[in-house]
């Protein structure tokens, strides 16, 4: 049975989608000259600690960062650890790549973008041609219903609404290649991996399925299709069988009301919408309902001129402008500040993402126990979840990464499980739990940056101590108990059944 939250998610997408926040680390296709991002290294030359970003955000610069145009060299800090630590598993949550708009601006032509793939157009990638060929063999894979009927490649010369573009495919081929390079010296997953070692899941949208397949191919080119099963997640929250949570739905409703009140109180924003509506010759309420920012962002990311309409006898006509686009982006930035201050979204996020985080914790613990027991290649060590902004944004909030940048196209969150060099003889009776506590550690990375010590569960850990990584037990305690403290509860079930003020 579909949870009640499904009824709210479309509105949530309209009001929250494309809302950037002040970033932990800024990544810009066209870097702002007045902004320098400082990286401070810890005791290990491979560990990075971030200087919080405090400058006021610029709407247009944030819009460039959101596009995530694949035209620059990117540093990935995945796979870095102190010497002699062993990587045991990697779990990745991604947002799909660049897509065609979900909404249509009234009286304008749709953006002219070709969604077929070709190595003869930009952006391209060295793996694009072989990726296209490999997807042609996809019938040999195993697909949970209804994924077998979903296109494995974007294939319309005139993009359909929400369809992944070639830019989106290239973004995730790059992501996969970055992870392959980052982990090439680690043996947690062999090139001839077994079916039980890899888990891939996606929602039923073509853009998430195709994004996940692109990243997997960049990570493991020419993998054996017969070894791959692609699992279906019906909910954008990836909550599986634990989606029923009345309190989560109520927090979502309250968050939407907060957003609405802030938006209608913004005089400049309302004037801006009225000006845009007059240009198009439509009612302001009709333009607002069409969520013009979604379509304008597509024009912006693809370097297309903003849409125009011919001037008529009623005086309407002209072109929408970058200045109007910037006003809407400015309001979204301000909404993010208010959202963090009020805290309703964080409570929603904790309940929304607990099922996914609980699965993540359970997988890590299982792999850790297998390592202690000396079982090789017996557990799932690489997981890939291909999702949406309404998945990744609450995940970041639930982890306490409130200052992290709103998920750009092809954003990635990575959880790594590490084991430190053993300090005691292996397999001593009664020592398994102590080994788990003492030797197992977690790293969390967002778009290649180590944000572990910005998370709620490891913010107080002494990063300069003798043990420079975050203990796995911190994460397990956080997911199973501590993350519900803000709701005066000690479990997911208890938090879902109550609603604190």
Residue 255 CB neighbours (<10 A): 23
Question: What is the Cα–Cα distance from 2 to 458, expressed in whole angstroms?
Answer: 35
- Rounded to whole angstroms, how far apart are CA atoms 92 and 465? 28
Contacts 24+ apart (CB under 8 A), 269-273: 269/327, 269/328, 269/331, 272/324, 272/327, 272/328
Question: 270-277 long-range contacts, Cβ below 8 Å, gap at least 24?
Answer: 272/324, 272/327, 272/328, 275/324, 276/320, 276/324
- Is 125 annotated as catalytic? no
Separation of alpha carbons 351 and 491, rounded Å: 10
Query: Catalytic one among 96, 346, 354, 388?
Result: 96
The one catalytic residue among 98, 335, 389, 403: 389
In degrees, rounded to 5, the angle at the alpha carbon of residue 493 between the alpha carbons of residues 489 and 497 is: 80
3-state secondary structure of 383: strand
CA 467 to CA 420: how far, in whole Å? Answer: 9
96 is catalytic: yes
Question: φ and ψ at 171, to 5 degrees?
Answer: -55, -40
- Burial state string for 13-49 with b = 16 or more CB within 10 A and e = fewer than 16: bbbbbbbbbbbbbbbbeeeeeeeeeeeeeeeeeebbb
Strand partners, 91: 383, 415
Q: Under a CB-based contact definition with an 8 Å cutoff, are residues 171 and 65 in contact?
A: no
Q: Is 84 helix (H, G, I), strand (E, B) or coil?
A: coil
Residues 6+ apart with CB under 8 A from 318: 279, 308, 309, 311
Q: 211, 151 in Cβ contact below 8 A?
A: no
What percent helix, strand, coil does the chain show, rounded to 5? 45, 10, 45
DSSP secondary structure letter of residue 195 = G
Distance (Å, whole) CA 315 – CA 50:
52
Q: Return the SS3 of 29.
A: coil
DSSP SS3 for 442: strand
State the Cα–Cα distance between residues 470 and 81, nearest whole angstrom.
Answer: 11
- Nearest CA among 428, 284, 348 for reference residue 8: 348
The catalytic residues are 96, 389
């Amino acid at each position: 049975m579909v949870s009640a939250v499904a009824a709210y998610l479309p509105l949530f997408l309209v009001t929250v989608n494309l809302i950037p926040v002040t970033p932990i680390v800024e990544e810009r296709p066209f870097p702002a000259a007045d902004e320098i991002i400082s990286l401070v290294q810890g005791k290990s030359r491979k560990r990075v600690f971030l200087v919080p970003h405090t400058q006021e955000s610029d709407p247009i610069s944030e819009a460039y960062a959101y596009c995530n145009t694949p035209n620059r060299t990117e540093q990935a800090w995945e796979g870095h650890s102190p010497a002699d630590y062993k990587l045991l598993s990697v779990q990745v949550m991604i947002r799909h790549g660049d897509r065609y708009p979900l909404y249509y601006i009234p009286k304008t032509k749709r953006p002219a973008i070709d969604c077929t793939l070709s190595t003869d157009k930009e952006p391209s990638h060295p793996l694009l041609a072989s990726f296209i060929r490999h997807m042609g063999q996809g019938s040999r894979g195993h697909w949970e219903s209804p994924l077998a009927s979903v296109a494995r490649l974007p294939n319309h010369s005139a993009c359909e609404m929400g369809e992944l573009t070639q830019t989106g495919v290239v973004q995730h081929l790059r992501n996969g290649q970055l992870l392959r390079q980052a982990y090439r010296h680690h043996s947690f997953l062999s090139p001839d991996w077994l079916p039980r070692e890899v888990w891939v899941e996606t929602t039923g949208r073509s853009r998430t399925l195709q994004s996940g397949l692109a990243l997997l191919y960049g990570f493991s080119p020419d993998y054996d299709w017969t070894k791959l099963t692609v699992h279906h997640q019906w909910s954008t929250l990836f909550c599986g069988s634990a989606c029923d949570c009345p309190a989560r739905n109520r927090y979502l409703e309250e968050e939407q009301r907060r957003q609405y009140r802030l938006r209608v109180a913004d005089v400049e924003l309302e004037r801006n919408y009225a000006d845009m509506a007059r240009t198009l010759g439509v009612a302001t309420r009709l333009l607002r309902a069409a969520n013009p920012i979604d379509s304008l962002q597509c024009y912006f990311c693809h370097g297309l001129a903003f849409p125009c309409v011919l001037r008529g006898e009623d005086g309407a006509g002209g072109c929408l402008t970058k200045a109007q686009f910037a006003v809407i982006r400015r309001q979204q930035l301000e909404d993010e500040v208010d959202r963090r201050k009020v805290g309703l979204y964080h409570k929603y996020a904790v309940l929304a993402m607990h099922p996914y985080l609980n699965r993540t914790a359970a997988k890590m613990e299982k792999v850790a126990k297998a390592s202690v027991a000396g079982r090789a290649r017996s557990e799932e060590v690489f997981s890939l979840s291909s999702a949406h902004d309404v998945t990744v944004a609450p995940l970041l909030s639930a982890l306490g990464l409130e200052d992290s940048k709103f998920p750009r196209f092809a954003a990635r969150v990575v959880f790594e499980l590490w084991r430190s060099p053993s300090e005691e003889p292996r397999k001593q009776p009664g020592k398994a739990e102590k080994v788990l506590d003492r030797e197992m550690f977690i790293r969390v990375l967002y778009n290649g940056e180590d944000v572990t010590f910005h998370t709620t569960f490891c913010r107080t850990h002494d990063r300069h101590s003798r043990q420079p990584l975050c203990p796995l037990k911190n994460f397990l305690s956080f997911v199973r108990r501590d993350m519900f403290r803000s709701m005066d509860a000690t479990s997911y079930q208890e938090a879902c059944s109550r609603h604190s003020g």
